Amino acid sequence: MSKNVPELVMRPEFEAGDIQDAHTGDVERQLSIFERVWNINGVRKIVILFGLVATWQIYTVALDVEPLMFPSFTLAAERMLNDLFYGDLIWKIWFSVKVLLYGYGMGMGIAAVLVLWATASRLGSDFIATATAMFNPLPAIAMLPLAMLWFGLGTASLIFVLVHSVLWAVALNTHSGFKNVSQTLRMIGENYGLRGVPFVWKVLVPAAFPSILSGMKVGWAFAWRTLIGAELVFGASSGSGGLGWYIFESSQNIETEGVFAGLFMVILIGIVVENIVFRNVELKTVNRWGMQR
Amino acid sequence: MSSVPQTVVRDEFEAVDLGSASHGDVARKLTIFERIYEMDSVRKFSILLLLMVAWEMYTRVSGVSELILPKFSDTAAALYSAVAGEQLLIMVWNSMTILVTGYAIGLAIATVLTTAATMTRFGSDVLSTLTAMLNPLPAIALLPMALLWFGLGSESIVFTLLHSVIWPVALNAHTGFMGVSETQRMVGRNYSLKGIVYVVKLLIPAAFPSILMGLKIGWAFAWRTLIAAELVFGGSISDTEGEQAGGLGWFVFANQMDMQIPHVFAGLFTVILVGVFVENIIFTNIEMRTVRRWGMQSS
């Protein structure tokens, strides 16, 4: 009993000798112009971008790197502008984007039908769960050899592969989004007498939109990667060929600056779709509806 | 005045034929069939079985050419023989070795980048510029450059894998760290956590859902990139014995070239199996032990 009582410790008293006056730094001061400019996000990022490009340029020029191995930035940019305005690069891009849109649209359509079936019946729901569990981990590009066998060397097989890459990602996310719509929202919808397709369209889709949108983004990312991969390998199949084929062709002809020009375009399109298209969709839907900050 | 609604008096009437109220079975025993059918796994398994049977029936009845769509039984036999006799396991092993190497190095680089980004604003700007630029670039598009720089070998594939892993992981980890609430940060500082300890004990657990998301996306991209890269250049990667074993993607491609379609399907099955294993066993287990156990994410 008494063991548990802590001993009292008396510290010796002491006197703090040398405490200086309190000293406050600049609590508030005018920022210099440099600091104010540096605080703008866009400026910093553009400076970084310029820094990267300058490093690249200086590295290649100063060390006299073989342009076949690593061309300087100016060479690559020149090649890109040249092909864009005087060559057929713009048509290749258009070809790729067209195929991508077909595949994406069809994939979304099939996903919509599947998910409707899944909301209508338990059999559909089970089917979609089994199919997505099986096909989602299968890289779409692995289906390409089969697709070429079934649909021949042409756009049809590219679209088949794209549909495969979009369908499962979108279906999986939409389905799980629908399942997580709260019972309260569902009952409100039923209370308004909504049923069948109007119920899905007016209640489930808006309520599950963050999840649907993330499915669409993942689907886009997979589709874009698959398309470039497929074109890199088998792109010339349908006459003109796309952006991936442009890269492959340039690398086969050992025109490395062409490869870089193609990569620039791939990056540009990716940025446009992700930061402009999807960002705007987000702003106009989930952000406006207050579902996501 | 016309906007004032008129009062409508409905005629009175008497409901004659109501019948007596009857309930259905409010509670009844389920039949054995119903009870079995209630089990999720049984339903899913029977759907799988049904698909296989439909496939087998279709190929037998319609007499589709073996080269277009082989029978399911042939595919299964091909899978068995490939596993038993023909190096399929070695190929899977080759693929997985490359994948794990690329994934691990990618994680290490992503860690360094994220650390720099969390410490300083300049680092954060560099990271966000780089990811905005390089994340939309499919890693496979870098393969031609990689082949030029590193030659025809597993180094090139590892390089592309790095690229496919680093950006999603770094991006997600960084957003996760940024999203850790100020309260939690202050609690950590109150416990006088600093530096690495602060990151390991506070930031990482708090941002784990987001980090895990990045790891999963990185895996998905890496797996797709690896298969695509092997489809194209897989045969050129010599295995340790000096034989051209290649990887799983090469197995699919080579068999397609030889018109061994059952083997192509067997290869696809293996790809699915590996994918299901990683996603549903490895990642689900990590999820169960971390974010779900910590109550950060439900079902």
- Find the mean pLDDT for residues B76-103: 86
Q: Do A48 and B129 touch (CB under 8 A)?
A: yes
**A249 and A107 in a common domain:** yes
Tell me the per-residue pLDDT of A106-119, one tens digit each, with 9 for 90 and over.
999 999 999 999 98
- Find the mean pLDDT for residues B244-262: 79
In-domain check, residue A197: yes
How many domains does chain A fold into? 2
Q: How confident is the model at residue B239 (pLDDT cuts 50, 70, 90)?
A: very low
CATH of the domain at A283: 1.10.3720.10
Tell me the per-residue pLDDT of B100-148, one tens digit each, with 9 for 90 and over.
999 999 999 999 999 888 888 888 888 888 888 888 888 888 888 888 8
Q: Which residue of B has its CA nearest to A138?
A: B272
Task: Inform me whether the pLDDT recorded for A166 exceeds 90.
Answer: yes
**A157 and A39 in a common domain:** no
Kindly list the domain boundaries of chain B, sorted by start residue.
Answer: 80-292
pLDDT at residue number B2: 59
pLDDT at residue number A83: 85
**A251 and A135 in a common domain:** yes
pLDDT at residue number A238: 52
Task: Inform me whether the pLDDT recorded for B234 exceeds 70.
Answer: no
**A104 and A59 in a common domain:** no
Q: Do A139 and B143 touch (CB under 8 A)?
A: no
Specify the range with the lowest mean pLDDT, choosing from A62-71, A236-245, A272-281, B257-266: A236-245
In-domain check, residue A187: yes
**A178 and A48 in a common domain:** no
Domain extent, residue A50, equals 34-64
* Set of chain B residues whose Cβ sits within 8 Å of the Cβ of A248: 144
**A227 and A131 in a common domain:** yes
Task: Inform me whether the pLDDT recorded for B299 exceeds 60.
Answer: no
Tell me the per-residue pLDDT of A137-150, one tens digit each, with 9 for 90 and over.
888 888 888 888 88
Task: Inform me whether the pLDDT recorded for A2 exceeds 60.
Answer: no
**A117 and A54 in a common domain:** no
- Find the mean pLDDT for residues A60-70: 83
Is the pLDDT higher at B22 or at A138? Answer: A138
pLDDT at residue number A106: 96
In-domain check, residue A49: yes
- Find the mean pLDDT for residues B187-198: 87
Alpha-carbon span A105 to A108, nearest angstrom: 5
Q: Are residues B47 and A129 in contact, defined by beta-carbon separation less than 8 angstroms?
A: no
pLDDT at residue number A240: 60
CB neighbours (10 Å) of residue A105?
A: 14
Q: Which residue of A has its CA nearest to B258?
A: A145
Q: Which residue of A has its CA nearest to B65?
A: A150
In-domain check, residue A3: no
Q: Do B231 and A270 touch (CB under 8 A)?
A: no
Is the pLDDT higher at B273 or at B152? Answer: B273
Alpha-carbon span A2 to B260, nearest angstrom: 85
Q: In the CATH hierarchy, which fold is given to the domain comprising B80-292? A: MetI-like fold (1.10.3720)
Q: Do A49 and B129 touch (CB under 8 A)?
A: yes
pLDDT at residue number B241: 45
**A158 and A46 in a common domain:** no
Task: Inform me whether the pLDDT recorded for B278 exceeds 80.
Answer: yes
pLDDT at residue number B242: 44
- Find the mean pLDDT for residues A122-145: 86
**A98 and A197 in a common domain:** yes
Tell me the per-residue pLDDT of B35-75, one tens digit each, with 9 for 90 and over.
888 787 888 888 888 988 998 888 888 877 877 888 888 88
Task: Inform me whether the pLDDT recorded for A4 exceeds 80.
Answer: no
**A111 and A40 in a common domain:** no
Task: Inform me whether the pLDDT recorded for B18 exceeds 80.
Answer: no
pLDDT at residue number B102: 93
* Set of chain A residues whose Cβ sits within 8 Å of the Cβ of B140: 225, 228-229, 232
Q: What percent of chain A has pLDDT over 90?
A: 22
In-domain check, residue A183: yes
H/E/C letters for each residue in chain B? CCCCCCCCCCCCCCCCCCCCCCCCCCCCCCCHHHHHHCCHHHHHHHHHHHHHHHHHHHHHHHCCCCCCCCCHHHHHHHHHHHHHCCCHHHHHHHHHHHHHHHHHHHHHHHHHHHHHHHHCHHHHHHHHHHHHHHCCCCHHHHHHHHHHHHCCCHHHHHHHHHHHHHHHHHHHHHHHHHCCCHHHHHHHHHCCCCHHHHHHHHHHHHCHHHHHHHHHHHHHHHHHHHHHHHHHHHHHCCCCCCCCCCCHHHHHHHHHHCCCHHHHHHHHHHHHHHHHHHHHHHHHHHHHHHHHCCCCCCC
**A239 and A173 in a common domain:** yes
* Set of chain B residues whose Cβ sits within 8 Å of the Cβ of A126: 40, 43-44, 47
